[in-house]
């Protein structure tokens, strides 16, 4: 099988970039610079395995662009990791930080390994080995990693510990995703869900709709959904339908209550994975509908906050004509075909990487707090988060309005232009 005929994630990211670059009219130099990462590291990590053998693991770090600030991005442990995947994701991080207007660049890293084949000790050896190879090339003011696919706060702490041992000091700002008390930030659980609704609140205001006059239907009942609903209800909105996964039955159900769900009540009958107890919900007077029913409700707002590709070229036809705003809490819930229909119908879609930027913003706050070794209260974190995302939202929507762009396109244009400008201002291009 030739890998080149397959869609290559990096090629895909470059193609996406090229389209926007064309739109902005980016000069060749800047375009060439941004099409590829600034720096790439690939290295071997020898690990003494529990059985006495030595195994060599391949590690990566890609620093796509740091014109706007230190690189920021996760470390993935994946058995089929490729350099091109890491490149693509590092580029995406650059745009993501830029659209949220946080002073960070984009990076990504990884190790080809499957933690399911490794003991905890071997994983620790990989983490420490990764840092030993990169100790001079990452740092609290140069490149700040974070947990990602199959990496956990535990991995981050092993990495931080190794870095600090090498550099002889305490540098909690090296890495984010740490637990509170060891350099973590409060508000991480709430950040993404609240972020979605900060954006939604601003969008409604722009559309001149009072939140208290609106109803919403939400897919998912995990962290993101629960906090989004919490804040939306505080604004006066009413959630009439929530879809949630039923692990035992391996299917999802929509839970509907026309006069609005009681969030606390529903949380009380939900497991830690966001699965709502069907029987108890029924006893509490919720209508139990098929999993897809959340999408077809007569509501003003849809918040897809669970899965990819939910609003597709086909399912978009089932949306109620009343829907005015879709706030994407999940990654990629809307397919390009659906986007075209929604744009035509004038439905206001707050794109994923703006709507769910609360997460990366809170990571940025963690880095800031860690670097000054002074930690904010929950209120401080959430207030700052509100300001940051409100500003980010307005920048994007203003551009969209002025340039008559679909919000998703505007977000990309804005992000890439910000990075391009930083590169030019620094005299790089």
Partner 1 sequence: MPKRSRQRRLAELSDRLQELSERLEPSEQPAVAAELTAPSRWREAVRILRKTDRLLALRIGRKVVNHLCSLGLDEAQRLLAEADAVDDPSALLGESNVPAPKHALSTSILLGDEPFALAATHLGEAELLRLLRRWIMEERAGAFIRVLGNPRSTLQEIGESLRYHRRSLAAEDLAASICRTVRVLLCQRYLTDQLEFLKVAKDAATTEDFDDLIDRLVLPPESHGKLGGKGAGLLLASWTLDPAETAAVACAITTPSVATDIDLAEVRIPRTWYVASDAVLDFIARNDLEDVMRQKFKDVAEVRSDYPNIIQLFKHSLFSPEIVRGLSVALEDLGERPLIIRSSSLLEDRFGTAFSGKYKSLFLANQGPPERRLEAVLDAIAEIYASVLGPDPIAYRRDRGLLEFDEQMGILIQEVVGRRVGRWFLPAFAGVAFSRNELRWSPRIGREDGLVRLVPGLGTRAVDRIGDDYPTLLVPGQPTLRANVQPDEIARYSAQYVDAIDLDQGAFVTVPLAEMMAAAGADYPALDKVFSILNEGMLQKPVPMFLDPAEQDLIVSFDGLVRETSFLRQIQAILVRLEAGLGHPVDIEFAHDGEHLYLLQCRPQSQGDDAAPAYIPRELPAERVVFSAHRYVTNGTVPDITHVVYVDPDRYAALPDRAAMLATARAVGKLNSVLPARRFILLGPGRWGSRGDITLGVSVTYADISNTAMLIEIGRRRGGHLPELSFGTHFFQDLVEARIRYLPLYPDDTGVVFNTEFLLGAANELAALVPEATALADCIRVIDVPAVTGGQILRVAQNADLDEAVAYLAEPT
Q: How far apart are the first and last CA of the chain?
A: 39
3 binds partner 1 (CB under 8 A): yes
153 binds partner 1 (CB under 8 A): yes
CA distance 206 to 164: 48
Q: Respond yes or no: is residue 108 known to be catalytic.
A: yes
Q: What is the DSSP string of 316-329?
A: GGGS-TT--EEE--
**Which of 46, 166, 170, 273 lies at the binding interface for partner 1 (CB under 8 A)?**
273
247 binds partner 1 (CB under 8 A): yes
Please state the closest distance from residue 56 (CB atom) to partner 1, in A: 14
Phi, psi of 135 (to 5 degrees): -55, -25
Between the CA of residue 266 and those of 218, 229, 239, 342, what are the distances in Å? 13, 11, 12, 31
Please state the closest distance from residue 284 (CB atom) to partner 1, in A: 17
**Which of 31, 68, 78, 233 lies at the binding interface for partner 1 (CB under 8 A)?**
78
* Stretch near partner 1 under the rule CB under 8 A, chosen from 28-36, 142-150, 228-236, 282-290: 142-150
Please state the closest distance from residue 196 (CB atom) to partner 1, in A: 21
Dihedral sign, CA of 257, 269, 295, 188?
Answer: positive
116 binds partner 1 (CB under 8 A): yes
9 binds partner 1 (CB under 8 A): yes
54 binds partner 1 (CB under 8 A): no
Order across the sheet with 39-48: list the strands: 39-48, 54-65, 105-112, 71-78, 143-147
Nearer to partner 1, 70 or 184 (CB): 184
Phi, psi of 220 (to 5 degrees): 100, 150
CA distance 247 to 25: 49
The active-site residue out of 19, 72, 96, 108 is: 108
Please state the closest distance from residue 25 (CB atom) to partner 1, in A: 26
Phi, psi of 91 (to 5 degrees): -65, -45
CA distance 208 to 234: 18
Nearer to partner 1, 149 or 166 (CB): 149
180 binds partner 1 (CB under 8 A): yes
Contacting positions for partner 1 (CB under 8 A): 1, 3, 5-9, 12, 50-51, 76, 78-80, 82, 85, 114-123, 147, 149-150, 152-154, 157, 177, 179-180, 184, 188, 247-251, 271-273, 275, 308-309, 314, 335-337
């Amino acid at each position: 099988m030739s890998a080149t005929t397959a869609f290559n994630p990096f090629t895909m990211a470059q193609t996406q970039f090229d389209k926007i670059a064309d739109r902005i009219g980016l000069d060749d130099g800047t375009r060439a610079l941004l099409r590829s990462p600034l720096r790439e590291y690939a290295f071997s990590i020898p690990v003494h395995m529990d059985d006495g053998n030595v195994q060599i693991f391949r590690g990566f770090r890609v620093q796509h662009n740091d014109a706007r600030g230190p690189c920021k991005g996760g470390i993935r442990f994946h058995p089929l990791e490729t350099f091109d995947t890491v490149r693509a994701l590092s580029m995406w991080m650059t745009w993501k930080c830029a659209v949220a207007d946080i002073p960070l660049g984009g990076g990504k890293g990884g190790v080809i390994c499957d933690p399911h084949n490794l003991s905890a000790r071997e994983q620790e050896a990989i983490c420490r080995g990764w840092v030993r190879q990169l100790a001079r090339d990452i740092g609290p003011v140069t490149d700040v990693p974070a947990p990602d696919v199959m990496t956990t706060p535990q991995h981050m702490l092993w990495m931080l510990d190794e870095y600090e041992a090498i550099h002889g000091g305490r540098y909690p700002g090296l890495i984010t995703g740490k637990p509170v008390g060891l350099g973590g930030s409060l508000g991480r659980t709430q950040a993404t869900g609240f972020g979605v609704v900060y954006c939604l609140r601003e969008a409604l205001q722009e559309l001149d709709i009072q939140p208290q006059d609106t109803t919403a239907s939400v897919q998912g009942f995990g962290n993101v959904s629960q906090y989004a609903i919490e804040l939306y209800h505080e604004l006066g909105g009413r959630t009439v339908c929530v879809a949630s996964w039923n692990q035992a039955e391996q299917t999802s159900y929509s839970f509907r209550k026309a006069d609005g769900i009681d969030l606390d009540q529903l949380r009380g009958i939900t497991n830690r994975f966001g699965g709502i107890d069907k029987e108890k919900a029924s006893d509490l007077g919720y209508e139990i509908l098929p999993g897809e029913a959340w999408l077809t409700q007569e509501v003003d707002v849809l918040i897809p906050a669970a899965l990819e590709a939910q609003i597709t070229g086909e399912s978009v036809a089932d949306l109620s004509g009343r829907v005015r705003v879709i706030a994407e809490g999940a990654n990629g819930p809307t397919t390009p075909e659906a986007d075209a229909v929604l744009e035509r119908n004038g439905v206001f879609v707050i794109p994923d990487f703006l709507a769910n930027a609360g997460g990366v913003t809170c990571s940025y706050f963690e880095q800031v707090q860690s670097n000054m070794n002074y930690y904010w209260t929950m209120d401080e974190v959430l207030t700052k988060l509100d300001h940051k995302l409100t500003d980010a939202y307005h920048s994007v929507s203003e551009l969209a309005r002025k340039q008559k762009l679909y919000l998703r396109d505007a977000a990309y244009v804005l992000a890439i232009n910000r990075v391009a400008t930083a590169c030019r201002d620094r005299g790089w291009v």
